[in-house]
Structure 1
Amino acid sequence: MPLSAELAARARDVLAGRIEPVPAREAATVVLLRPGPEVYLLRRKATMAFAAGAYVFPGGSVDVRDTDQAVAWAGPSPAEWGEVFHAGERLARGLVCAAVRETFEESGVLLAGPGPDSVVADTTGEDWEADRLALIDRSLGFADFLARRGLVLRADLLKAWAHWITPEIESRRFDTRFFVAVLPAGQRTRDVGGEADQVVWERPSRTLERAREGEIFLMPPTYATLSELTAHDTVAGVLAERREITPIMPRAVEIEGEMRLVTS
């Protein structure tokens, strides 16, 4: 992937030691699936400071309250998630909570239910919308949201998929664990606005085709994840794939005078 002139200049400064890389913030991203299989993607507004105009999966930074506050929990424990993602138990709890919270904030889909074997059937009412907006502006903590509604977080509905770290040359960096999850029966996504100006359900192969034709912009982790998903004809196939989670951090290299981003 060739770099823009501005980013290429920054890359040379970072590689030469003239600029120190910024720390990467812990984050979670969820690839939401439905039969097809199709994936849910949001187009980030052109005014966003990070990944402006890119089509992305729902996700965002871990809130410190995601790591500190206990929630009713069904499925693999934080310790088990920590083993999968090579993270401490506290961070693993935060990653799973952030994954479920951000999915609700950015799609309206909630991976939680009244009990360990159930999922809420509908989240489209005005009271749900008020809670979603309160979560976004951080006036409501995720643990408090679940407790007030008597909900259990369904960690068993998530599958670990990948671990991507933003290159050191970027001025905004994220250390992101990728999950996949299936759209729960009865729930539906909606255009919730906020950081996105467009949403779409689409087959991975079609999204990749649009990106290759220059119609849309995909960041390397999104492109790579969609490419991996094209190996499966069904959602069940995606969920059955065995994954070994190892960190991937693209790096900048100069090839014949041009700065490029590579993952190998």
Structure 2
Amino acid sequence: MTDKKNAPPPLREASTVILVREKNKALEIYLLRRSKKSGFMGGLYVFPGGVVDPEDLGLAHWAPHIDMPPDQIEKQLGANTFSTEDALGFSIAAIRETLEEAGVFIASGKGKTQKDIDDICTYRLNRDLPKSWFRTKMMSQNWTLSFSSLGRWSHWITPKLMKKRFDTRFFLVFMPENQTCVPDNRETKHGIWLTPQNALERNLEAKIPLSPPAVVTLTQLLKFNNLNELKREIQTRSWGDPISPRLVPSSNGPVILEPWDPMCDKDCDIDTSDFSKKVLPPGSQFSRIWCDKGVWKPVGV
């Protein structure tokens, strides 16, 4: 019989969007600082995202407001690994959360103008919006959500020892033209565009403290030099195996072991006494991330 007191928190489905643009011939990624009051990753810089809500589901209602047919949704966004309904929920949540948190609307509509887009981006800042506001707006104003703009990137599962756990799909989206990122100033307090290299450097300097998945993702993005390279990657990229790290508590700061770490599957402690000497520079291959006074830093084995 499972001990309910020691059972890990239930997994909640969630979506995250890696917003990418090219500026001065360099790739930049948009990062948002979560409110310090947040119960998950508080005070850290993350990509826009959040949980899948019940209103994000219901293919019959959403189908007329999506730019691809249902069978294409499962093929392209589910990658034939999960159902059309699940692919729908993750994708709607990705677009909705990017609008709510970053003020970027991944959508279009017949006869819609730039003012219509600006109005939606302003409306989402209203206080006390009902849970159904996004669904209501999309259907009453006949918007078409741009599922074709969503690229598969990765699949993360939060470590069992964390207080909140998520089964999260990381999508990659190229920043829409003529739009500007604006944090909601509630869940997110500050937004910034940075190259992956600069973001990783500023993380180590404790100036832009990143979440552990952001450290891994930005390191992955270092290999791409421009948007064309990234577009080619997205055309064939699968979700890949779920990235399910292990969290190891330590008096010197907790450690996250990625699945490719030799100790990830072993239920044992990790000696962190010399980790301050093992911190790795940006671009290094790593399998461990150590929380040093609130800053997650890649360390060598």
- TM bin, normalised by shorter chain, reads 0.7 to 0.9
CA distance in 2 between partners of 1:208 and 1:239 (Å) = 22
Residues 1:92 and 2:92 are matched in the alignment:
no
| 1:3 corresponds to | none
CA RMSD of aligned residues (A): 2.8
| Partner SS state of residue 79, structure 2 | helix
> Which residue of the other structure, out of 91, 96, 101, is the alignment partner of 1:101?
96
1:198-219 Cα offsets, whole Å, 9 max, x none, are 1101111100011122333222
Partner of 2:247: 252
Greater Cα offset, 54-63 or 33-42 = 33-42
Counterparts in 2 of 1:135 and 1:165: CA distance versus 1, 3 Å: farther
Q: TM-score, normalization: structure 2?
A: 0.74
Please give the secondary structure, in 2, of the residue aligned with 1:261.
Answer: strand
C-alpha separation in 2, matches of 1:85 and 1:207: 34
Aligned mates of 2:137, 2:167 — CA distance in 1: 26
Counterparts in 2 of 1:85 and 1:227: CA distance versus 1, 3 Å: farther
- Flag the structure with larger Rg: 2
More helix by proportion, 1 or 2?
A: 1
What is the match of residue 180 of structure 2? 188
Q: Compute the displacement of 1:140 (Å).
A: 3.2
Does the aligned pair in 2 maintain the 1:65–1:141 contact within 8 Å? no
Shift of 1:167: 0.4
Tell me how far apart the structure 2 counterparts of residues 50 and 40 of structure 1 sit (CA, whole Å): 19
State percent identity of aligned pairs. Answer: 33
1:56 corresponds to: 46
After superposition, the C-alpha distances for 1:151-171 in whole angstroms (9 at most, x for unaligned) are 111111110100001001111
Residue 222 of structure 2 aligns with which residue? 230
Pick from 8, 11, 18: which aligns with 1:21? 8
Distance (whole Å) between structure 2 residues aligned to residue 177 and residue 259 of structure 1 = 24
CA shift for structure 1 position 252: 3.2
Instruction: Map residues 124-139 of structure 1 onto 2, 5 A cutoff.
Output: 124-125=118-119, 128-130=121-123, 132-133=124-125, 137-139=129-131
SS state at 1:87 partner: coil
Identify if the C-alpha distance between structure 1 residues 143 and 113 changes in structure 2 by more than 3 Å, giving closer, same or farther: same
Cα distance in 1, alignment partners of residues 249 and 19 from structure 2? 36
Q: Deviations over 1:172-215 (max 9, x none)?
A: 01110000111111111123312111110111110001112233
Does the Cα contact within 8 Å between 2:74 and 2:80 map onto a contact in 1? no
Partner residue of 1:201?
193
Q: 1:119 to 1:182 in 2, by over 3 A?
A: farther
Aligned partner letter, 1:24? L
How do 1:114-153 and structure 2 match up within 5 A? 114-115=109-110, 121-122=114-115, 123-125=117-119, 128-130=121-123, 132-133=124-125, 137-153=129-145
Over 3 Å counting, the alpha-carbon distance change for 1:106 and 1:237 in structure 2 is: same
Does the CA contact (< 8 Å) of 1:33 and 1:183 recur in 2? yes
